[in-house]
Structure 1
Amino acid sequence: MNRIPRGTVQEQTFYEQVGGEPTFRKLVHRFYEGVAEDPLLRPMYPEEDLGPAEERLTLFLIQYWGGPRTYGEQRGHPRLRMRHVPFRVDRAAHDAWLHHMRVAVDELGLAKEHEEQLWNYLVFAANSMINTED
């Protein structure tokens, strides 16, 4: 039997498979272009400039999908639900967030299996952020 020596085959992470940092920067930048114009979501970002929020989400997604761990080094554990508690996240906010993310995902032109994997995670994440009844 031919065996591949341990450690010689390294599978690429999702992060690497989809193009690494440029892909996630493009995704999140396009997403925040939509958020900037959204009357429901924009008030949830107290900073005058969306740049810091864009950078945080970019670094989080990069780390989540197997890229550098910069987010954790800078901010610690993601604690996503806790970080969103100050904001009213109801079904309408969920839907608006997913709408802008859908536009951004579609513009990436990912392979079908990558697009589905990313989208399924984003839907899961959006559902888990709801903290207010409609």
Structure 2
Amino acid sequence: MPTDPYAGLEQLYDELGEEGFSALVSSFYRRVRGDDLLAPMYPDDDWDGSQGRLLDFIVGRCGGPPRYVEARGHPRLRMRHARFRLDQAARDRWMEHMGAALGELDTDAHTRARLHAFFDATATFLLNS
């Protein structure tokens, strides 16, 4: 596996397709909706929108259609997440749910590990507290 967690991600869309990424994000959001720490960070009236934006971001980052960038411009992840208190506990909980969703993903261990490394690095990048 590359030491750069972002290297080669563009190939993953060809491996997993829209269905694979959609299943991953759906599995993740099923967990987050019931989480006492993370759920309050999401708008009650826009769960579908939040889920769609995450799907579009991941798909575009992993070599699929650039829907996120076309709709919202540069991701600016830190700016978009600055209003939330993202401390180590929130980061770890987010990774716990994403790790569980990755465990359900119908793919090989190497692909799961590459995605986990990407999510791990990105979640750490977003820490602000």
Q: Do both proteins adopt the same fold according to a TM-score greater than 0.5, normalized to the shorter chain?
A: yes
Count of aligned positions: 120
Larger Rg: 1
1:130 counterpart = 2:117: no
Q: Given residue 72 of structure 2, which amino acid in structure 1 is its aligned partner?
A: R
Conserved? CA contact 2:13–2:62, under 8 Å: yes
Once the two structures are aligned, what percentage of the paired residues are identical? 42
The correspondence of residues 85-104 of structure 1 with structure 2, limited to 5 A, is 85-104=82-101
Which one scores higher on RCO, CA 8 angstroms, separation ≥ 6?
Answer: 2
SS of 2:45's equivalent in the other structure is: coil
The RMSD of aligned alpha carbons is 1.2
Deviates more, 1:83-92 or 1:40-49: 40-49
The correspondence of residues 37-116 of structure 1 with structure 2, limited to 5 A, is 37-116=34-113
Deviation at 1:113, TM superposition (A): 1.4
> How many Å separate the matches in 1 of 2:44 and 2:69?
21
Deviates more, 1:60-69 or 1:109-118: 109-118
* Richer in helix (by share): 2
Residue 6 (structure 2) aligns with: none
> How many Å separate the matches in 2 of 1:105 and 1:81?
24
